[in-house]
Amino acid sequence: MKLSKQNLAQRADHIYDVLIVGGGPAGLSAGIYLQRYLLSTLIIDKGKARSFWMQELHNYLGLPSDTPGRDLLKQGKDHYLSVDGDYLNAYVESVVEEENIFVVKVRIGRNKPTYATFRTRYLIAASGIIDNLPTLDNMQNVFDYAGHNLHVCLICDGYEMRGQRVGVFGGSENSLEVAFPLGWFTPHITLFTNGAFEVGAELHHRLNTEGYTLVEKPIKQFIGENHQMTGVELKNGEVVELDAGLISMGSKYHADYLKGIELDYQGGNLITDKMNRTSHPRIFAIGDLKVGMNQVIVAAADGALAATQIWRDIRRVEGRRSNSSNIFSTEKVA
């Protein structure tokens, strides 16, 4: 059921089998599987998953290639609620382990927030990442195009950019390396540093060899209309015409709540085994937060794998749950 400040008290004494941080594709898929395994599940979502911003999912089997990310999220959330999962819009502040139970502290609401605490046996970190965006004087100008033809994912949108004049917006010298795989799809590449960092002689040479253009001056704004970016205006007044953009500025990892627990990371990503278990036996990581490929279909499969492993773990200890009643309403009359 959908939890809110009003009905939270009903779950005060409950120990969930699994608490999932993040209601994106990974978390929703895990939640659907877990509830179908008769495990009591709570998804806590802060809203605005990375996929919420995707205007078109082009490569998700089963969905038309112009399906907005938010439609997938809505379908998944309805599906999850239909199998009696608990869902709460809130922000997870911290997780503390107390005698094989995780105590999860959350903040509900932005203005006049209230705080609540949940308890769970297993934790799934599905809170993902969010892409860093170019910092311009008017950020609304960036939001107008990001997720439309100002892309953030080469794997997802390389095909859309084939043969186009593409601007790459980097956050560091390293991040500009994306130009080379992008070159698979189009030879017309202009790279922008926005005047924020230096590019060394070696990369200069490699870009030059490939015929790519490097623009190191500061950007004033993106130009275009109806969310279709058609170019970049520099602060010096020059305009560079483009058909599309690719942002390559790294990501922010939503994992602060795990700081109190020792886990193995590779960069910002959690290291997991093939069933998505982290170095802690009762913490799993799925979707963009774990090491692996950041794709919606992979995140959804991650959720299925983690849920299944947790079910196996719990089943091996408990044996059966067919007669028990510690899940809220899954009884089916034969």
36 is an interface residue for its own copies by CB under 8 A:
yes
| Residue that has been written with the tokens 């390389």 in this structure | 158
184 is an interface residue for its own copies by CB under 8 A:
yes
CB of 119 to its own copies, least distance (A): 23
Q: Judged by CB under 8 A, how many residues of this single chain contact its own copies?
A: 65
Binding mask of the shown chain, residues 201 to 230, with x at each position contacting its own copies by CB under 8 A: ------------------------------
Rounded distance, CA 253 to CA 183, Å?
28
Which residue stretch of 91-99, 134-142, 160-168, 213-221 sits at the interface with its own copies (rule: CB under 8 A)?
160-168
33 is an interface residue for its own copies by CB under 8 A:
yes
CB of 72 to its own copies, least distance (A): 5
Rounded distance, CA 45 to CA 126, Å?
9
305 is an interface residue for its own copies by CB under 8 A:
yes
- 219-225 vs 228-234, strand pairing mode: antiparallel
Q: Phi then psi for 213, rounded to 5 degrees?
A: -105, 135
Rounded distance, CA 309 to CA 76, Å?
21
User: What is the enclosing helix (H) or strand (E) of 131?
Assistant: strand 129-131
300 is an interface residue for its own copies by CB under 8 A:
yes
Token pair recorded at residue 328: 């809220």
Which residue stretch of 125-133, 139-147, 178-186, 213-221 sits at the interface with its own copies (rule: CB under 8 A)?
178-186
181 is an interface residue for its own copies by CB under 8 A:
yes
User: What is the enclosing helix (H) or strand (E) of 188?
Assistant: none
How far, CA to CA in Å, does 214 sit from each of 62, 153, 209, 248? 40, 20, 12, 15
Cβ–Cβ under 8 Å, residues 55 and 145: no
Task: Choose, by CB under 8 A, the member of 60, 192, 212, 257 that binds its own copies.
Answer: 60
**Three-class secondary structure of residue 142 per DSSP:** helix
Binding site for its own copies (CB under 8 A): 25, 28-29, 32-33, 35-38, 58-65, 67, 72, 75-76, 79, 82-83, 155, 158-160, 162-165, 181, 183-188, 243, 274, 292-293, 295, 297-298, 300-305, 308, 311, 315, 319-323, 330-334
